[in-house]
Amino acid sequence: MSTQKKNTTPTGGLLERLGKGSVLCAEGYLFELERRGYLKASAYVPEVVLDNPEAVKELHREFLKAGSDVILAFTYYAHRDKLKVIGREADLEKLNRQALQLAKEVADEGNALLAGNICNTWVYDPADKNKTSKTVREMYEEQVGWADDAGADFVIAETLDYLAEAEIALEVIKKHNLPAVITFSNTLYEDKTLDGYDIIEACKILHEKGADVVGLNCSVRPKTMLPLLKRLKKEVNGYTAALPVAYRTTDEHHMWDLQHNGRPSFPTALDPHTCTRDEMANFTKQANDIGIEYIGICCGGAPHHVRSMAEALGRTPESSRYSADIHLHGAFGDKDNVVKKHEDRDKKVHRDAKS
């Protein structure tokens, strides 16, 4: 167990903040850093933490300024099995500890919460439950232990497909006496986990076993997720989470089977499907109205989305200073000084046309 002092802030820890109102969590590091040229699509292993740490820190800072209450250590897919895929298993501990340190430094700049992060492992197999459960537990123990050492305020276990894997994650997090946010990815179109549980029923089971926040992330867009969120809030008597992708999925097509020009969009042609900042703001209002307390954004999310989401919650984050103001636009503005410039320009155009 860590002896380091936990990160305490004037507005308290996760549960205290949830008791006072919504908590906004910016995610989307994998996709945003891939777009910026620091990470390989498909493998999606966060090598950038070691190779270009300043790029990670800058994105943390942009999310903080955009209004995120949480700075998430970029340790998604930073587990032993994924690092083995790219031949960097020897960097496992170094990568995790550095990711946590980068996130902590930025969280401390803005009194944000520091979150550790574990995720789906691609290792769990219900056909070989005993062996694979042991492997998953060992992987989670490593990552949660390092998060505890770093003074994480809580740990997020996300994009989980199996209830059994989520239960292991919860057990490991609680062993370290940390609050747990557990979210399922709606991988199947029948709204079930891969081990056959209704996804809202799976959330209820985790809540009853001690998860502090339960809900959904990834896979589907805001519009597709909203009906499930209404059920989630109705059936779970506790804090709930919603972090959709910022892509326009449908009831028939999740993020990874969207098409563009007759070809698969995933992973590098998702741009035409990207949600606007206004769509994400509208989702935030709707989720908040339903009563979802922990609201965020997953794959495809970027700082401009997060800022609009924060503003939809009635906040004015630092980067709101640069929010769009069409009234000042050279062609579409209506401020007096802009209108005067329009009139002067139009007169000049007419004069030139006559000469």
pLDDT for residue 3 is more than 70 = no
> Which of the two residues, 349 and 284, has the higher pLDDT score?
284
Contact 274, 300 (CB under 8 A): yes
pLDDT for residue 9 is more than 60 = no
pLDDT tier at 349, thresholds 50, 70, 90:
very low
**Cβ atoms within 10 Å of 127's Cβ, excluding its own:** 6
Contact 151, 4 (CB under 8 A): yes
Q: Where are the beta strands (DSSP E) in the chain?
A: 23-26, 70-72, 113-119, 154-160, 180-184, 213-217, 239-243, 259-260, 263-264, 294-297
Question: Which residues of the chain are in CATH 3.20.20.330 domains?
Answer: 14-324
Cβ neighbourhood burial of 327 (10 Å; 0-12, 13-18, 19+): exposed
Query: Average model confidence (pLDDT) for the chain?
Result: 91
Task: Read off the tokens for 148.
Answer: 């505890």
SS3 assignment, position 233: helix
How far apart (Å, rounded) are the C-alpha atoms in residues 212 and 157?
12
Contact 319, 303 (CB under 8 A): yes
Each residue's pLDDT tens digit, 287-336: 999 999 999 999 999 999 999 999 999 999 999 999 998 888 878 887 66
For residue 130, which amino acid is it?
N
* Per-residue pLDDT, 251: 78
pLDDT tier at 338, thresholds 50, 70, 90:
low
SS3 assignment, position 239: strand
Q: Can you give the length of the chain in residues?
A: 355
What's the mean pLDDT in 195-219?
A: 96
Residues contacting residue 3 through CB under 8 Å, at least 6 positions apart:
none
pLDDT tier at 71, thresholds 50, 70, 90:
very high
What's the mean pLDDT in 250-266?
A: 88
Each residue's pLDDT tens digit, 46-63: 999 999 999 999 999 999
**Confidence (pTM):** 0.90
* Per-residue pLDDT, 354: 58
Q: What percent of the chain has pLDDT over 90?
A: 81
The arrangement of secondary structure in 14-324, i.e. its CATH architecture, is: Alpha-Beta Barrel (3.20)
How far apart (Å, rounded) are the C-alpha atoms in residues 20 and 38?
37
> Which of the two residues, 348 and 271, has the higher pLDDT score?
271
pLDDT for residue 253 is more than 70 = yes
Each residue's pLDDT tens digit, 102-124: 999 999 999 999 999 999 999 99
Helices (H), 222-297: 222-235, 277-290
pLDDT for residue 352 is more than 60 = no
pLDDT tier at 353, thresholds 50, 70, 90:
low
pLDDT for residue 348 is more than 50 = yes
pLDDT for residue 343 is more than 70 = no
For residue 206, which amino acid is it?
L
Least confident of 36-50, 154-168, 244-258, 336-350: 336-350
pLDDT tier at 7, thresholds 50, 70, 90:
very low
**Cβ atoms within 10 Å of 253's Cβ, excluding its own:** 17
* Per-residue pLDDT, 1: 41
For residue 165, which amino acid is it?
E
pLDDT tier at 254, thresholds 50, 70, 90:
confident
pLDDT for residue 285 is more than 80 = yes
